[in-house]
């Protein structure tokens, strides 16, 4: 809902900038706009790749867990595939809001490390763990009510019941998954991305084994089908968090922060700081994830085959998105360190270096998707099933739209990562809400139903929302750089 003051107050420059653009005094106080430096820029590109590639690998491995679930459940049939789309989307919906706390740890810790304040790192981590665990109980309550939620949203009852079977087991994974997320943020801020990659790869391997055993009844295990995928996910998240905890406890460079020492003792000032930054981050991320969840609901209105095809296309698009997302995390760390040092030039060059890499990666991904859409969609289907061909034919046009929005999706996540590094949270959150819910969701509904484009219309609406966010966030960063307002 728009504020009572009207549309112009919501989207105008004063609302999106929170700065006085006519005040030259602020430019003098905050530092002059940056100037390009080719040699330093190449250094930033290299440093971003060194930190970012393991994070990209970790993101792809993390995504591999969901992809494995979707592929193996897809072999059972369209009904099961549609149901797991509903189940995993609700889990991810509540998970990603809680992840806002974990995401906030990256810029807070990176800024503290840049200014040499190790104590602030320890305080933020401890209270981040507190806030995350408290949130998990609220997340459980939401997932417990999945059946009435999806009945209210007009989904088919057969899909709802299977999704509920999945969630009643998988929902307990919210504790280890969010705990591992906050530990990953801590390790990312310390630029220890390799262990994050190793732990996540270990989780993927375990998930494949458990899925194969429990979904289909192999290796002497019971055939649990969709419930087997839930047990596999729970076991996988638990393994990842155990690996990360053990590493932090035995590694000298992490043990010195003593993040688990006196964990029972509250630090309300640090708790407020983490929640103050984490809540708007969570809201911003939830605005984007909520748009994709709304798209799943709309696809469910179209039927089981469209929803299953949507799940296939969504997984493929999500895999390619992990590349700019990992680079975005690297940008947050590098920008955050520069922000702690109050170095405007390093902030700008680290941001644009990451943006350049993301543009190259997303354009490459778009070309690959366009070249082989049937191949990628076919990975999620057993073509022996009677409805597999219908799902495949419906998924291919959706993948064409997904290829088209790769670039803008990469730009928006890169800019949000850079803005988080300078602790610019509130205004980008407003931009996200506007882009996804004032532009994206209404356009998806309008194109899909009144204009009759159905599933393709839903996905064009997604693309329009992402394009709007990309333009606004890019403008936000560029305008702050032009005015010299990147560092405190």
Q: Are 355 and 330 in contact (CB under 8 A)?
A: no
Coil, helix or strand at residue 117: coil
> Residue 136 pLDDT > 90, yes or no?
yes
> Residue 209 pLDDT > 70, yes or no?
yes
Name every residue whose Cβ is closer than 8 Å to that of residue 192 and which is 6 or more positions away in sequence. Answer: 251, 253, 254
For residue 12, what pLDDT is reported?
39
Coil, helix or strand at residue 435: helix
Q: How far apart are CA 194 and CA 365, in angstroms?
A: 24
Q: Are 306 and 82 in contact (CB under 8 A)?
A: no
> Residue 8 pLDDT > 70, yes or no?
no
Write the CA distances from 194 to 109, 243, 325, integer angstroms. Answer: 18, 12, 16
Calculate what percentage of the chain has a pLDDT beyond 70: 91
In which band, very low, low, confident or very high, does the pLDDT at 37 lie, cut at 50, 70 and 90? Answer: low
Q: Using H for helix, E for strand and C for coil, what is the string for 243-281?
A: HHHHHHHHCHHHHCCCCCCCCCCCCHHHHHHHHHHHHHH
CB neighbours of residue 314 within 10 Å: 24
Q: Residue 264, exposed/middle/buried by CB under 10 A (0-12, 13-18, 19+)?
A: exposed
Q: Are 362 and 409 in contact (CB under 8 A)?
A: yes
220: number of CA atoms within 13 Å, CB side? 0
Token couple for 102: 């974990």
Write the CA distances from 288 to 283, 295, 435, 469, integer angstroms. Answer: 9, 11, 9, 10
pLDDT, tens digit, for every residue of 211-249? 999 999 999 999 999 999 999 999 999 999 999 999 999
For residue 143, what pLDDT is reported?
95
Question: What's the CA angle centered on 358, arms 331 and 185, to 5 degrees?
Answer: 35
Token couple for 280: 């708007």
For residue 171, what pLDDT is reported?
94
C-alpha of 387 from chain center: 31
Coil, helix or strand at residue 220: coil
pLDDT, tens digit, for every residue of 262-316? 888 888 888 988 888 888 988 988 898 889 889 999 999 999 899 999 989 998 9
> Residue 340 pLDDT > 90, yes or no?
no
Q: How far apart are CA 348 and CA 483, in angstroms?
A: 12
For residue 108, what pLDDT is reported?
84
Average pLDDT, the chain: 86
Token couple for 477: 């960063």
For residue 330, what pLDDT is reported?
87
Residue 343: left if φ>0, alpha if ψ -120 to 50, beta else—which one? beta
Nearest Cα to Cα of residue 126 among 265, 240, 252 = 265
Token couple for 192: 């220890």
Write the CA distances from 475 to 16, 184, 469, 472, 482, integer angstroms. Answer: 10, 30, 10, 5, 10
Q: How far apart are CA 107 and CA 417, in angstroms?
A: 9
Q: Element (H or E) spanning 159, and its range?
A: helix 157-170
pLDDT, tens digit, for every residue of 185-208? 899 888 888 898 899 999 999 999
Q: Residue 148, exposed/middle/buried by CB under 10 A (0-12, 13-18, 19+)?
A: exposed
- Supply φ then ψ for residue 484, to 5 degrees: 70, 30
DSSP 217: T
Name every residue whose Cβ is closer than 8 Å to that of residue 393 and which is 6 or more positions away in sequence. Answer: none
pLDDT, tens digit, for every residue of 368-427? 999 999 999 998 888 888 888 999 999 999 999 999 999 999 999 999 999 998 889 889
For residue 101, what pLDDT is reported?
85
Token couple for 171: 């929902």
Q: What is the tally of helices (H) and strands (E) in the chain?
A: 21, 0
For residue 23, what pLDDT is reported?
38
For residue 24, what pLDDT is reported?
36
> Residue 7 pLDDT > 50, yes or no?
no
Task: Report if pTM > 0.85.
Answer: no
Name every residue whose Cβ is closer than 8 Å to that of residue 338 and which is 6 or more positions away in sequence. Answer: 114, 346, 347, 350, 421, 487
């Amino acid at each position: 809902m728009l504020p009572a003051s009207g549309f112009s107050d919501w989207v105008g420059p004063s609302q999106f900038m929170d700065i006085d653009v006519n005040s030259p005094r602020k430019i003098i106080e905050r530092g002059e706009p940056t100037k390009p430096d080719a040699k330093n820029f190449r250094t930033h590109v290299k440093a971003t790749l060194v930190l970012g590639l393991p994070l990209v690998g970790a993101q792809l491995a993390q995504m591999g867990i969901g992809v494995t679930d979707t592929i193996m459940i897809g072999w059972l049939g369209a009904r099961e595939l549609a149901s797991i789309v509903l189940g995993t989307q609700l889990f991810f919906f509540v998970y990603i809001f809680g992840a806002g706390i974990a995401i906030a740890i990256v810029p807070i810790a990176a800024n503290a490390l840049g200014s040499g304040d190790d104590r602030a790192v320890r305080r933020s981590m401890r209270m981040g763990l507190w806030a995350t665990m408290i949130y998990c109980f609220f997340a459980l309550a939401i997932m417990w009510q999945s059946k009435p939620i999806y009945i209210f949203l007009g989904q088919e009852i057969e899909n709802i019941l299977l999704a509920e079977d999945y969630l009643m087991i998988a929902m307990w994974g919210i504790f280890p998954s969010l705990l591992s997320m906050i530990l990953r943020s801590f390790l990312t801020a310390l630029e220890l991305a390799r262990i994050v990659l190793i732990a996540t790869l270990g989780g993927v391997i375990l998930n494949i084994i458990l899925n194969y055993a429990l979904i289909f009844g192999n290796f002497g295990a019971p055939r649990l089908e969709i419930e087997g995928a839930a047990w596999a996910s729970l076991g996988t998240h638990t393994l990842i968090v155990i690996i990360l905890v053990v590493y932090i406890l035995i590694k000298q460079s992490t043990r010195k922060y003593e993040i688990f020492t006196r964990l029972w003792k509250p630090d309300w000032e640090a708790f407020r700081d983490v929640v103050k930054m984490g809540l708007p981050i969570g809201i911003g991320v939830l605005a984007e994830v909520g748009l994709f969840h709304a798209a799943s609901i709309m696809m469910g209105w179209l039927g089981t085959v469209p929803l299953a095809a949507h799940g296939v296309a969504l997984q493929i698009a999500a895999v390619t998105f992990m590349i700019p997302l990992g680079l975005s995390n690297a940008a947050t760390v590098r920008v955050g360190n520069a922000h702690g040092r109050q170095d405007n030039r390093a902030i700008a060059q680290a941001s644009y270096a990451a943006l350049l890499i993301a543009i190259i990666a997303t354009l490459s991904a778009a070309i690959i998707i366009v070249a082989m859409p049937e191949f990628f969609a076919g990975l999620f289907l057993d073509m022996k099933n009677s409805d597999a061909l219908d799902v495949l034919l419906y998924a291919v046009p959706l993948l064409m739209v997904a290829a088209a929005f790769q670039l803008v999706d990469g730009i928006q996540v890169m800019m949000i990562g850079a803005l988080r590094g300078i602790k610019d949270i509130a205004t980008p959150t407003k931009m996200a809400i506007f882009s996804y819910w004032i532009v994206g969701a209404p356009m998806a509904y309008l194109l899909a139903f009144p204009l009759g484009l159905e599933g393709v219309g839903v996905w064009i609406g997604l693309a329009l929302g992402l394009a709007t966010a990309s333009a606004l966030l890019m403008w936000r960063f560029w305008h702050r750089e032009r005015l010299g307002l990147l560092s405190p």
